[in-house]
Structure 1
Amino acid sequence: MKISDFQTKDVINIVDGKRLGQVSDLELDLRQGRIDSIVVPTDSRFFGLFGSGTEVVIPWRNIVKIGADVVLVRLDETKLYKQDDEPLAR
């Protein structure tokens, strides 16, 4: 599967049914050749240009199912990050 295939899918949290957005990036483990997590930008940015620019980082283990149109995730252990990778308080 290509990253462009991920970027066309909606990410849905199965815990509350909320649509989180679409995958913007992947975090890779280059030594083991696998995906560590997916990154989904929050809706706080205006066309990706203005705002705080927080992202939801979802570990690969939290992905429940990758379907034709959606990626289902469980967000119990997810962290929010600013653009400069400073953890945000929850």
Structure 2
Amino acid sequence: MRISDLKTKEVINICDCRRLGYVGDVDFDMDTGCLLAIIVPGPGCFCGFLVREKEYVIPFCDIRQVGPDIILVNVDLDKATEKCGI
């Protein structure tokens, strides 16, 4: 599977059946070539001129299944790593 294939899949959280969005980027270990996490841009913010304020970094261990159209993850969003960007 290629990174471009991952970017076409929607990420669904099985904890609350919430749609998180589409994969925006991935995090790899350069030494081993292993996938460490997928990064999903958060919702847009109107007051920030439609700039995305957060992104969810979902560790590989939280990915439950990769299907033809979706990726199922098991993430507690309150404890998930969020990166804020300006």
Within a 5 Å distance, the mapping from 1:57-76 to structure 2 comes to: 57-76=57-76
SS of corresponding position for 1:4:
helix
| Higher strand content, 1 or 2 | 2
Structure 1 gap ranges (5+) = 85-90
Task: Give the match's secondary structure for 2:40.
Answer: strand
Query: Alignment partner of 1:31: what SS?
Result: coil
Aligned to 1:80: 82
TM-score, normalised with respect to structure 1: 0.82
Alignment partners' CA distance in 2, 1:3 and 1:52: 21
Work out whether residues 37 and 59 of structure 1, in 8 Å CA contact, stay in contact via their aligned partners in 2.
Answer: yes
Please report the TM-score for the alignment, with normalisation by the length of structure 2.
0.85
- Counting only pairs closer than 5 Å after superposition, residues 8-87 of structure 1 correspond to structure 2 as 8-45=8-45, 50-76=50-76, 78-83=80-85
Following TM superposition, the consecutive aligned residue runs of length 4 or more in structure 1 with deviations greater than 6 angstroms are none
Stretches of structure 2 that go unaligned for 5 or more consecutive residues are: none
Contact 1:59 1:78 in 2 (8 A): no
Identity of aligned residues (%): 39
